[in-house]
Amino acid sequence: MIDQRDFVLSPEIAHSPEKLAEFLTAEMGAAFLESTKYRIEKRSIDARSRQIKVNLRIGFYEKDYDFSLSAQLPSLPKSAKKVLIIGSGPAGLFAAIDFVKKGIKPIVIERGKDVRERRRDLAAINRFNLVDPDSNYCFGEGGAGTYSDGKLYTRSTKRGDIKGVLETFVAHGANSDILFEAHPHIGTNKLPGIIASMRDAVIAAGGEVHFNHRVIDFIIENKSIKGVICQNEAEFQADRLLLATGHSARDIFQLLQDKGVAIEAKPFAIGVRIEHQQSFIDQAQYKVKKRPEYLPPASFSLVTQSNFEGIQRGVFSFCMCPGGFIVPSATSPKQVVVNGMSPSRRDSKYANSGIVVSIVEQDLARYKEFGALAGMQMQEEIEQKAGTLVGGSQKAISQYTLDFIQGKASKSAHPTSYVPGLEPGEMREFLPDYISAPLAQGFQDFNKKIPGFSSNLGQIIGLESRTSSPVKIPRDKESLEHPQINGLYPCGEGGGYAGGIMSAALDGIRCAEAIANSF
């Protein structure tokens, strides 16, 4: 790069390539512009005042600079060392790509189906209330991130090659805007193709990917990993195993506990999802009657503290999806779990977001007989209760937000993006008071921040329970290996080391580096 400059521009200039070129010609001089190439390095919108501004960082490069990114990976030699990767979510997939770059052969083992087949199972959940425990919104190729909003920002302060992850997505088909947007997102319509392209690159280089293989046992000899056994009796052997099975692989947590492999209970959060008209959120956030086209559908981020029976619990918004859909994301029949996703254009008329309450140690203590699986047991029980209330279907309980605050069951529901349908009622029928009371307090506070937010204009839909892993699988800070089992590397969200697509991808790369150094 020859130079970079920051500009504060009107949206009309910032979002029009022609007007931006005119502006830069005037600002930098025609001769400079003719002898260089430029691109946007960073873009953020400042909507705090009525005069909306766009902050742009422009990078200037030599005229012959090549911006193109290659998806091709080097071919693996026959003698390459091998590593088992359990789970093809962002942690497993980015680790696989990194292993190939390092000349190590990844063998990816995934319980679910490839993205194309998986789509049919999602349709069956939405249309016929049928949940396949191996192929659903959490399980299958690409993991929980495939049919999601594809937000790619992370609150994690851990450093890593964020730009490299974004460039990999772009090389496999994501829009290059994600390289400079302050809040990049891909969209559920684009993610499956991108994930399939990443998988094809791994296979073309000599890696292996096995779908429909659920790991049911670890082969451990003398406290060292030797391989895994799958439900179909397939066996894979290697002495390095990256375990990236996500926050919903309850059978894996149970297996680790049954085998005496150390795991720990971990705090997480439970609550509901709130849905509004997107136009309401736009008006509230941009303070305009109608959102101009150059502005993206508005989002929000809310956080407060509650006090119930003398215990402080955080209440916060989680995974906000502007212009999105609420989706059924249970991993077994008879549970009700919701989450949110949106297409790349974020053009549904609804805005949704999780509003969740932190689960604290005192809450986990109610389930202490389950040891490290206390949080998992709590999640499961509440999910089953919600499922029983809707007769084992995938319908979700809904309640107008003000009705919830006032403790009144709702008798009707607003139109919704949630395809399986709503059953109006009362959240307290399945939410324990240590979650419902802080939630009600939180909504009252949020209504002060966004007037009307917690009125009956919006409705809450339950249950939002898969916010992060209820279990931590310990690992050494330096080697990233499990402290008891040689060759076992807990990774990503399931191990408690990530919370979202970007942080899971970064953790996958981190673990791949640690494993490569261990040979």
Tokens at 176, concatenated: 């290059």
Does residue 297 interact with ligand FAD by CB under 6 A? no
Does residue 256 interact with ligand FAD by CB under 6 A? no
Closer to ligand FAD by Cβ: residue 488 or 502: 502
Does residue 341 interact with ligand FAD by CB under 6 A? yes
Closer to ligand FAD by Cβ: residue 46 or 200: 200
In angstroms, give the least distance from the CB of 366 to ligand FAD.
Answer: 26
Q: How far apart are the C-alpha atoms of 346 and 149, rounded to whole Å?
A: 9
Region label for 476, one of left (φ > 0), alpha (ψ between -120 and 50) or beta (otherwise): beta
Does residue 498 interact with ligand FAD by CB under 6 A? yes
Does residue 244 interact with ligand FAD by CB under 6 A? yes
Contact present, 318 and 352 (Cβ < 8 Å): no
Report how many residues bind ligand FAD under the rule CB under 6 A: 45
Binding segment toward ligand FAD, per CB under 6 A, in 6-14, 242-250, 438-446, 455-463: 242-250
Pairing of strands 82-86, 241-243: parallel
Instruction: Report the 3 state secondary structure along 221-244.
Output: ECCEEEEEEECCCCEEECCCEEEC
Closer to ligand FAD by Cβ: residue 38 or 99: 99
* Residues numbered 315-334 forming contacts with ligand FAD, rule: CB under 6 A: 319, 327, 329
Does residue 132 interact with ligand FAD by CB under 6 A? no
Does residue 111 interact with ligand FAD by CB under 6 A? yes
Does residue 354 interact with ligand FAD by CB under 6 A? no
Q: What residues does 54 pair with on adjacent strands?
A: 9, 45
Binding segment toward ligand FAD, per CB under 6 A, in 4-12, 138-146, 258-266, 434-442: 138-146
Does residue 336 interact with ligand FAD by CB under 6 A? no
Does residue 139 interact with ligand FAD by CB under 6 A? yes
* Residues numbered 140-169 forming contacts with ligand FAD, rule: CB under 6 A: 140, 143-145, 147-151
Question: What is the total residue count of the chain?
Answer: 519
Closer to ligand FAD by Cβ: residue 87 or 442: 87
Does residue 138 interact with ligand FAD by CB under 6 A? yes
In angstroms, give the least distance from the CB of 193 to ligand FAD.
Answer: 17
Which are the contacts of 233, defined by CB distance < 8 A and separation ≥ 6? none
Contact present, 179 and 185 (Cβ < 8 Å): no
Per DSSP, the three-state class of 59 is strand
Closer to ligand FAD by Cβ: residue 104 or 256: 256
The neighbour count for residue 391, using CB atoms within 10 Å, is: 10
Tokens at 331, concatenated: 């991993």
Which are the contacts of 29, defined by CB distance < 8 A and separation ≥ 6? none
Q: What residues does 241 pair with on adjacent strands?
A: 84, 488
In angstroms, give the least distance from the CB of 115 to ligand FAD.
Answer: 11
Instruction: Report the 3 state secondary structure along 281-300.
Output: HHHHHHCCCCCCCCCCCCCC
Does residue 207 interact with ligand FAD by CB under 6 A? no
Binding segment toward ligand FAD, per CB under 6 A, in 50-58, 395-403, 478-486, 498-506: 498-506
Per DSSP, the three-state class of 296 is coil
Could you say which of 109, 220, 390, 396 contacts ligand FAD (CB under 6 A)?
109
Phi, psi of 226 (to 5 degrees): -120, -20
In angstroms, give the least distance from the CB of 35 to ligand FAD.
Answer: 40
Q: What residues does 516 pair with on adjacent strands?
A: none
Binding segment toward ligand FAD, per CB under 6 A, in 51-59, 106-114, 284-292, 382-390: 106-114
Binding segment toward ligand FAD, per CB under 6 A, in 51-59, 123-131, 260-268, 501-509: 501-509
In angstroms, give the least distance from the CB of 116 to ligand FAD.
Answer: 15
Long-range contacts for 308-312 (Cβ within 8 Å, ≥24 apart)?
308/433, 308/434, 308/437, 308/438, 308/441, 309/434, 311/360, 311/362, 311/434, 312/360
Q: How far apart are the C-alpha atoms of 376 and 388, rounded to whole Å?
A: 18
Closer to ligand FAD by Cβ: residue 90 or 297: 90
Closer to ligand FAD by Cβ: residue 246 or 442: 246
DSSP string, 305-373: EEEETTEEEEEEEEEEETT-EEEE--SSTT---EEEE--TT--SSEEEEEEEEE--HHHHGGGGGGGGG
Does residue 493 interact with ligand FAD by CB under 6 A? yes
Closer to ligand FAD by Cβ: residue 416 or 441: 416
Residue whose C-alpha is closest to residue 107's, from 249, 231, 217, 205: 205
What is the x/- site pattern for ligand FAD, positions 472-491, by CB under 6 A?
Answer: --------------------
* Residues numbered 74-103 forming contacts with ligand FAD, rule: CB under 6 A: 86-92
In angstroms, give the least distance from the CB of 179 to ligand FAD.
Answer: 17
Q: What residues does 217 pair with on adjacent strands?
A: 229
Q: What residues does 243 pair with on adjacent strands?
A: 86, 490
Could you say which of 246, 271, 462, 496 contacts ligand FAD (CB under 6 A)?
246
Phi, psi of 184 (to 5 degrees): -65, 145
Q: How far apart are the C-alpha atoms of 149 and 430, rounded to whole Å?
A: 27
Does residue 252 interact with ligand FAD by CB under 6 A? yes
Catalog residues that contact ligand FAD under the rule CB under 6 A.
86-92, 109-112, 137-140, 143-145, 147-151, 214-215, 244-246, 249, 251-252, 319, 327, 329, 339, 341, 492-494, 498-502, 504
